[in-house]
Structure 1
């Protein structure tokens, strides 16, 4: 059946309440560097759909390119289209509450300035983080100072998950995000047009402020600057720590990122923990029960609002059923003996859901969401012993190419399948050829061409970006990106700071090394013992003062400074080489590792 291209409701809603555009649409950072260019997305999505873009994704990209300040309802505004995510602004008695201040400080600052140019210079009197993903907190230092005394509200567990996702695996995730967001591609009909969830991600300064007020339970009510807010905790939905909330006096419902105008990711291609489709569906059902009848407008941290109680209920019901259907049908087929790759080919969205635009896979996809559900319940192993101990990519490629008859023969076979329209198998063969002989220009060119065609045909924005970035990196060295996450360190706990060291210890080099350090923090009154033993750096809180090679007395801010190379006003007692020994085993991983080549 499919959705109706003649239906202009989404365009009407995306433009409703328009107040002012950001003019010009370029946001600049330090030294005049362009942090984000909204004008590029406006220009790139003008006119009729070209042959290099899936028509459904073209429509979605036109919607996400609409930018500016919009009134959601009396006293609630959104900045949309100048970042991957929305920044929402709620007017209180004396100032404004900021909901989800973008990815970077430069964008958040520009958005707040746009609002103030139309509504007056109101101070920020509160900040709300709806969940633990960087595009919903990273720009906080653009709206408040690091030492702000305004309440910073987040769901319980926010800080732990914000750190584990963006610091522990941060280097790998940053590299994969280049593919996920298409950050290194030009904004054009032959490049990136966004990710379906929104336009591109800004490349500015990322920061983090620890929450001062945790939302711990559904039904918790808080008043911020005279505004009543009723919260719903939704852990393990779109993020491990997330929440929806209702402004009852305004009949306005914020659904965070739990319901947007797309099928979302259960597994994000940039890399993250698999989400729980069952919990996601049930929390949407709970939101319908708690809030739908009391809401005249629903807004979220991406995309455009939905107005009207009946339309809100329909939208929430479609989203509820979408995640519930994928969850239940995947498990049904798992128990019939099918593996994830098979189920992903078999499942079809019910026609009534497919007829709604908001269920289409612009950011997630049925294919990789089904595989995510399979992974969550069954894991990576599909039960076939032939897949239990397979060769890694380069070793497998060399053997496949040998069986096929060499790289030239493999490239020829890949071209045959590509010419026949089987781009998926052509990509697999072409990848084997490249991994077997990375310098073979015919293999690289063929695979780049196949990736490009796959990208142009993708309805899913992240698929398009992954294919097109892969094609670009086969033809030229990877471009470096300019994210700056340094502003997050001050918000980390002591344990998280120590963890960030431990996960970078080069275990094999440190097998035979021994070192022990006692850390005494004068500001928290805590003592930690740290030991390097058998290539692992262990640390724990202790009340004991057992002998150690080195005792270090400092504050938590001094620990942050020490990790940056400063020893000012820190007391060292014992063998100073103990710290030098430990730090000598710390790797500095490159964020530019290869992906489409060995």
Structure 2
């Protein structure tokens, strides 16, 4: 098997796009990062650290891959898993805990002790309350489907709560190895990064994902780009030599770690600074999202390509954080129903079919953004017209094909399928 250092070198160079998109392939592959530390591939990685007194595990992957991940971890080390750290409450990090618990029961070991930030139980409770919605979001995002399979709903409805939580920072020792848990806001408000001083290793969760940061997801709750940048700069300052995210390959060497974290922080800081400058001028959201631009030299970095989230979505999240939901357009404060607006515009333009025809013309001319607006109006004005819906779907599929970010492609394709 190719070593994780060889994989890491290929992703760092950016020469192999596939290695960044999916470096590990199937779930259940074990890579020894350095003597005493291994990662196991899954939807999210699970990281095992040997201590001389059993294992510490950081993140557990998702429920669907939990048994596969644990079986692979056991190929590497069969000692008790004494402590587990959830870096945050997303299901691809906490969902595999049931498999670790089952493994402990089968082997006659004590159930692992789980650490997490104090906001994480609140997140899991909210997921249980909104399991249907979150499953729908993930069906769109990852499957391009408008309806979620029942198993996806169950993923959000059940997750093991932590045994112990902390607020700002916490440390524990196992087998003489010290593990320091540091809180930072970023993709979530319950995020933890783990510093292992004796090994000069950081386990970063989703603070770094080999993509443009997931700081703007249009279907998820608030993200925190300014605080995210602070956490990245704190990580860059501790002197790590090995940096292990929960998605993607590790980064080896302090100089590369400092560069990657510093430039990711710089990207977020630039988007926040530009957005706030416009917000403070009192302009509309429309002007903000079409004026703020990410520095091109940063987006060219292989670890900042907008393959999942993208800067325009981050800008919208910055607006939501600092400026609320009103977009500055008074017509949108207490709007008429979308269908009523669509019918009025259809009547003015010659009917829904004329709108659909115009949408096709715009798409043929390459203006897929405007074509999407017009096609949506046509479908809202004539919800039972199959031909109009086919026009809309074809434009949405073309729109999806033109996008780089998985989020945009997923939403457009799910809407086309719907």
- TM-score w.r.t. the length of structure 2 is 0.88
Gaps of 5+ in 1: 1-8, 17-54, 186-201, 474-598
Q: Which has the larger radius of gyration?
A: 1
Give the drift of 1:427.
1.0
Pair 1:123-2:99 in alignment? no
Cα separation, 2, equivalents of 1:285 and 1:466: 33
C-alpha spacing 1:319/1:216, structure 2 compared with 1 (3 Å): same
Q: 2:57 — aligned with what?
A: 98
C-alpha spacing 1:225/1:142, structure 2 compared with 1 (3 Å): farther
Q: Secondary structure at the match of 1:463?
A: helix
Q: 1:76 — aligned with what?
A: 37
1:223 to 173, 183, 188: 173
C-alpha spacing 1:393/1:173, structure 2 compared with 1 (3 Å): farther
Gaps of 5+ in 2: none
Q: 1:158 — aligned with what?
A: 120
2:8 to 8, 13, 20: 13
Q: Secondary structure at the match of 2:355?
A: helix
Pair 1:427-2:372 in alignment? yes
Cα separation, 2, equivalents of 1:137 and 1:449: 38
Give the drift of 1:14.
7.0
Give the drift of 1:254.
1.1
Residues paired across the two proteins, number: 400
2:21 to 55, 61, 64: 61
Pair 1:111-2:59 in alignment? no
C-alpha spacing 1:129/1:157, structure 2 compared with 1 (3 Å): same
Q: Secondary structure at the match of 2:198?
A: coil
Higher helix share: 2
1:348 to 276, 293, 298: 293
Per-residue CA deviation, residues 230-253 of structure 1 (Å, 9 max, x unaligned), is 12111x321111111111121111
Q: 2:227 — aligned with what?
A: 279
Q: Secondary structure at the match of 2:409?
A: helix
Q: 1:313 — aligned with what?
A: 258
C-alpha spacing 1:10/1:336, structure 2 compared with 1 (3 Å): farther
Cα separation, 1, equivalents of 2:378 and 2:51: 61
Contact 2:7–2:23 (Cα < 8 Å) also in 1: no
C-alpha spacing 1:315/1:66, structure 2 compared with 1 (3 Å): farther
Cα separation, 2, equivalents of 1:350 and 1:375: 22
1:214 to 148, 165, 182: 165
C-alpha spacing 1:161/1:386, structure 2 compared with 1 (3 Å): same
Q: 2:312 — aligned with what?
A: 367
C-alpha spacing 1:399/1:204, structure 2 compared with 1 (3 Å): closer
Contact 1:130–1:243 (Cα < 8 Å) also in 2: yes
Cα separation, 2, equivalents of 1:178 and 1:439: 25
C-alpha spacing 1:271/1:454, structure 2 compared with 1 (3 Å): same
Cα separation, 1, equivalents of 2:16 and 2:364: 25
Pair 1:178-2:139 in alignment? yes
